[in-house]
Amino acid sequence: MTRDDMNHDEEWEDIVRRLGGTEQQAQSKPASEDNEPQPSEGFVSQSLPQAGPRDYTLADEEIEDFQPPEPSPFATGNPRTILSWSVVIGSAFLWILAALGGWQLPWWLSAITLVGFFGGGLSLFFLLPKTWAHRGPSDDDDYGNGAKV
């Protein structure tokens, strides 16, 4: 053995001892990919392909007659919510259209859209739920109630 091999052996023994290994484990050779177990004499070695993470087949499970639930119509919502979203989106759309078209909006139209935009945004803010009670039973991921002061 060369001096370099002895240093590696001593380092290996030191690592094993620090990790709580026994003296016998410290004296054994480290397991590596190069050291494959040798088959016994009467055994014929066949190299089987190793199964990887993508070596699987999906079960042929067909969902029969699945019908998604009907979405709730847009017009049946809260009128305040619909009006607030319409004003906010309409104001922003008018500003973008005027900017792309290079139009100068009259002062009164600018003032109305500005007040409408902020008023609609403020209305939507106050329509936000105040508690966690709006969560459905299917959303029960049990994240707790959050911090309490």
User: Which residues does the chain have with pLDDT short of 70?
Assistant: 1-6, 26, 29-49, 56, 59, 63, 74-75, 132-149
User: What pLDDT score does 114 carry?
Assistant: 96
Residue 37, domain member (yes or no):
no
pLDDT tens digit sequence for 69-97: 888 776 677 889 999 999 999 999 999 99
* Spatial contact of 74 and 113, defined as CB atoms under 8 Å apart: no
CA distances from 14 to 1, 7, 11, 41, 100 (A): 19, 10, 5, 36, 72
Instruction: Answer whether residue 5 is part of any domain.
Output: yes
**C-alpha angle 18-20-26 in degrees, rounded to nearest 5:** 75
Considering the domain boundaries, does residue 93 fall inside one? yes
| In a domain? residue 20 | yes
Task: Give residues with Cβ within 8 angstroms of 9, minimum separation 6.
Answer: 1
User: In this predicted structure, what is the pLDDT of residue 38?
Assistant: 56
Domain limits for position 2: 1-29
Q: How many domains is the chain partitioned into structurally?
A: 2
Residue 138 lies in a domain: no
**CA distance linking residue 90 with residue 87, whole number of Å:** 5
* 7 assigned to some structural domain: yes
Residue 148 belongs to some domain of the structure = no
Question: Between vectors from CA 134 to CA 130 and to CA 135, what angle results, nearest 5°?
Answer: 125
